[in-house]
Amino acid sequence: MKKTDVTKPRPQGAKTNAANKKMASKYSGVHECKKDYLSNKEMSEAIEATLYSTLGDGEKLIFVIVSDLDNAGKYGESALAFTDKRVINVDAERAESYEYSEIGSAKAKRMYGNAAIYIEGDSLKRTRVFRYTYSIVALCDMAAQFLNDLAGGTSFESALEIVQATYDKLNLVCPKCGRTLLRAGAQCIQCQSKTKVVAKLVKYVKPEFKSLMLCVLISCVTTFLALVPPYMTRTIVDEVLPMSVAGEIAKGMAMLTGVVILLLGTHFLSHALGALRGYLTRRSGDRIVLNLRNDVYKKAQHLPMKFYDKTSTGSVINRISGDTATIQAFVLKITQECIVQFILMIGIILIMLIMNPKLTLLSLIPVPLVVIGSRIFSKKIAPFYHKIWRRWAKVTSVMTDTVPCIRVVKAFAGEDRAVDRFEKQNAEWYKVDMASAKITMVFPHIISFAVTCGSLLIWAVGGRWALLGDVSAGLLVSFISYASMFYGPVNFFAALSDSYQSALASTERILDILDAETEQNRDDAIKVDRLDGKIEFKNVNFSFDKTKKTLSNVSLTIEAGDIVGIVGTTGSGKSTLINLLLRFYDNYEGEILVDGHNIKDLDINSYRSCIGYVQQEPMMFSDTIFNNIAYGIPNASVEQVIHAAEVANAHEFITKQPDCYDSMLGERGVGLSGGEKQRLSIARAVLKNPSILVFDEATAAVDSETENQIQEAIERLISGRTTLMIAHRLSTLRKANKIVVVDEGKIIEFGSHDELMALKGKYYRLIEIQSMSNKDTISIK
């Protein structure tokens, strides 16, 4: 019967049994000391005290799960402790315990945003014993299984094996960021690569270093040349023009000609070098963006399916196109303009100081205003770049949703709704962009105004000095020229924070792809050329996210050469079994072995090349029929491709196409019927000559005649290979020597057709339903 212990927090030194007292003293306050029970985190002192006061003499604590919710469902703490005799739900105030012998079954129920463990037995009504968030669902699933194993008669030691394995896996986390590691001692990809954002970009700039340095050198020369004209202006005003007053017109003309020729040469050289520099800069910039874009695309190809489950394709495309261009512009700005503008600024200040230190100090007055203004602007504008991008990603998402589905849109007269949706998202983007425009448009004018005030100050003070004869008119005119040149770099650096914030936001999104964890190969991954095809699933648990368990404790052995039909209702987990076998998802618990090798130990490319996969909706590329068949073996000979097409019953319809094997397929195979595309997809699989074949509802979307043709092709293909066939139409499984019935993520039946019919379970019922529906169809006919 249920045993309830209500206990107040135990004062220090309260009664505990000897062993636990020793444990408690070892444990309390010394987190690094070794505990002799398993736990996901330290219990609070209050809970620990309540728990130890509950334990009986000699009762041994085996494992503890600490939750982040209290029993009332608020954030707090409670724990579920498992001893050698019973399970105890404990919080700071009370403890409730249940003997293992009174528990008939346990269920870890996932609800919305939280979950709970329920137990029940012959004399125990359904009772909730623990409530928790999804943060510890894996542990609680294990706990429920542990209780069910014990209730099912498994020995305590055997039941503990899964407990130990789950806690071992829990320890496989990165000490820095807490992400799960692939294996013990593995380097965390996230932390390994999360260095400074700018440092990441250096990799792309490095190959262009020489070219960019040459550009900087040219820039130094052009900067120097840019400083010449104002100085020449001074010469003209102070030395050449006064010669007319002195009557030395001929000498003055000669000097003027010399100065003009010098200016002409200066301008010519300056523009010629500028053009050269422009070309070199463009070349380097394009190369940087070329490599960056290639890397992002390459990385996107190797990202696991779970990345695409959560990221829209529009957003990925946006990053590859738009964000790389933003980064290119910024990198060039940093490597080129920054250096040039800095040199220019220093050069101008030096010349101005030499010409007149007092006027120089006057011209520097607006600089602090510009610097402070930039900092304020930078803080205000930064959030907008994220916001604008997010809204723009939504706009592109609408486009990537509706444009490829234009047939559906038209068929359901959804054009206006599509337009509405687009306009709504576009309006959201406009709203945020306009809010940022208020800042980005106003700020430069405030800066320009401050700069203009600086120039006016020089006119006011310098003009007065010129009138008093303290400075020459030439010096003043030339100084004004330098001062206006000086504010160019000042403006540039003021506006730099705008580009910096924009580039930073783009870089973050690019790094989201570049730093994402790829499908992983171990360093010592085993390459395989051929597999016998024995497949074993051992205690496999999987969920796409933690809200719903998709596969639950799946164990299954398929011998080499077996033809296995996988049946079950929609959403039962059939395709997930295949997804895991193909290593589309690696984040499952348990093991999948092929020929005795854990598939995570196999080189992913060589492993996948041993598997032929035919999907329900065959995907075709915008390419010729030949290239679509040869997709898996790009160097396949013509005869190999034709043979594959013949085996797949595709050759005949291909020859009826005007361009036969050279026929171009439109986007996603437009131009072919569903059955034709399916046969091309089978031909693709035939060409690979795979050891394992997987058909995921290959004939679900075709008519009966086409189904027969596809079925013939499949039967030719499967001989001598391990074959897994998911099918709704059970008639397609006539060649299967074993049937797996999947329901609610569990394998509920496994055996031959005859064995399962004799069992009169789910498979029997499915066959009955399909037979009845066939009879109905016949009677309707």
- Taking alpha carbons only, the member of 235, 215, 232, 234 closest to residue 223 is 215
DSSP state of 239: I
Stretch that binds another protein, among 158-166, 310-318, 656-664, 682-690 (CB under 8 A): 310-318
Residue whose CB is less far from another protein, 438 or 734: 438
| Nearest distance, CB of residue 703 and another protein, angstroms | 31
Residue whose CB is less far from another protein, 156 or 308: 308
Q: What is the separation of C-alpha 412 from the centre of its chain, rounded to a whole number of angstroms? A: 33
Q: Is 15 in the site for another protein (CB under 8 A)?
A: no
| Nearest distance, CB of residue 190 and another protein, angstroms | 5
Tokens read off for 709? 């043709």
Rounded to the nearest 10 degrees, what angle do helices 473-514 and 338-355 cross at? 160
CA distance 600 to 35: 32
| Nearest distance, CB of residue 748 and another protein, angstroms | 9
Residue whose CB is less far from another protein, 419 or 638: 419
Amino acid at 515: D
Q: Which residues contact 159 (CB under 8 A, 6 or more apart)?
A: 146, 149, 150
Q: Is 304 in the site for another protein (CB under 8 A)?
A: no
| Nearest distance, CB of residue 546 and another protein, angstroms | 4
CA distance 226 to 237: 18
Of residues 427-466, those binding another protein (CB under 8 A):
428
CA distance 460 to 480: 11
- In this chain, which of 200, 242, 744, 753 binds another protein, going by CB under 8 A? 744
- In this chain, which of 26, 176, 183, 530 binds another protein, going by CB under 8 A? 176
| Nearest distance, CB of residue 733 and another protein, angstroms | 22
| Nearest distance, CB of residue 315 and another protein, angstroms | 7
Residue whose CB is less far from another protein, 499 or 673: 499
Q: Which residues contact 368 (CB under 8 A, 6 or more apart)?
A: none
Residue whose CB is less far from another protein, 397 or 681: 397
| Nearest distance, CB of residue 547 and another protein, angstroms | 6
Residues counted in the chain: 781
Residue whose CB is less far from another protein, 307 or 584: 307
Exposure of 175 in the CB half-sphere (CA atoms within 13 A)? 3
Q: Is 195 in the site for another protein (CB under 8 A)?
A: no
Tokens read off for 530? 């051929």
Q: Is 178 in the site for another protein (CB under 8 A)?
A: yes
- In this chain, which of 37, 134, 231, 653 binds another protein, going by CB under 8 A? 134
Q: Are 716 and 651 in contact (CB under 8 A)?
A: no
CA distance 454 to 651: 81
For residues 65 to 84, the per-residue mask of contacts with another protein, x marking binding by CB under 8 A and - elsewhere, is ---x----xxxx--------
| Nearest distance, CB of residue 392 and another protein, angstroms | 12
CA distance 18 to 59: 10
Q: Is 405 helix (H, G, I), strand (E, B) or coil?
A: coil
Phi-psi label, residue 560: left if phi above 0, alpha if psi -120 to 50, beta otherwise: beta
For residues 108 to 127, the per-residue mask of contacts with another protein, x marking binding by CB under 8 A and - elsewhere, is -x-xxxx-x-x-------x-
Residue whose CB is less far from another protein, 28 or 133: 133
* Secondary structure E strands in 473-626: 535-542, 551-558, 563-567, 589-594, 597-598, 611-614
Q: Are 593 and 600 in contact (CB under 8 A)?
A: no
Residue whose CB is less far from another protein, 128 or 283: 128
Beta bridge partner(s), residue 190: none
CA distance 667 to 732: 30
CA distance 273 to 215: 9
CA distance 430 to 399: 16
Tokens read off for 211? 């070219």
For residues 520 to 549, the per-residue mask of contacts with another protein, x marking binding by CB under 8 A and - elsewhere, is -------------------------xxx--
Stretch that binds another protein, among 172-180, 345-353, 445-453, 481-489 (CB under 8 A): 172-180
Residue whose CB is less far from another protein, 118 or 342: 118
Residue whose CB is less far from another protein, 682 or 747: 747
Q: Residue 73: enclosing H or E segment and its boundaries?
A: none
| Nearest distance, CB of residue 587 and another protein, angstroms | 12
Residue 44 sits at φ, ψ, to 5 deg, of -70, 160
Residue whose CB is less far from another protein, 127 or 663: 127
CA distance 733 to 682: 17
Q: Is 190 in the site for another protein (CB under 8 A)?
A: yes
Tokens read off for 376? 């304020």
Of residues 373-412, those binding another protein (CB under 8 A):
382-383, 386-387, 390, 393
Residue whose CB is less far from another protein, 235 or 436: 436
DSSP string, 684-697: HHHHH--SEEEEES
- In this chain, which of 182, 191, 241, 495 binds another protein, going by CB under 8 A? 191
| Nearest distance, CB of residue 781 and another protein, angstroms | 28
| Nearest distance, CB of residue 344 and another protein, angstroms | 34
Residue whose CB is less far from another protein, 277 or 319: 319
| Nearest distance, CB of residue 133 and another protein, angstroms | 5
Stretch that binds another protein, among 201-209, 212-220, 507-515, 633-641 (CB under 8 A): 507-515
Beta bridge partner(s), residue 567: 741
How many Å is the maximal CA-CA distance in the chain?
126
Residues that bind another protein (rule: CB under 8 A) add up to a total of 46
- Taking alpha carbons only, the member of 208, 493, 181, 459 closest to residue 337 is 493
* Residues binding another protein (CB under 8 A): 68, 73-76, 109, 111-114, 116, 118, 126, 128, 133-135, 137, 174, 176-179, 190-191, 194, 310-311, 315, 382-383, 386-387, 390, 393, 424, 428, 509, 512, 515, 545-547, 743-744, 762
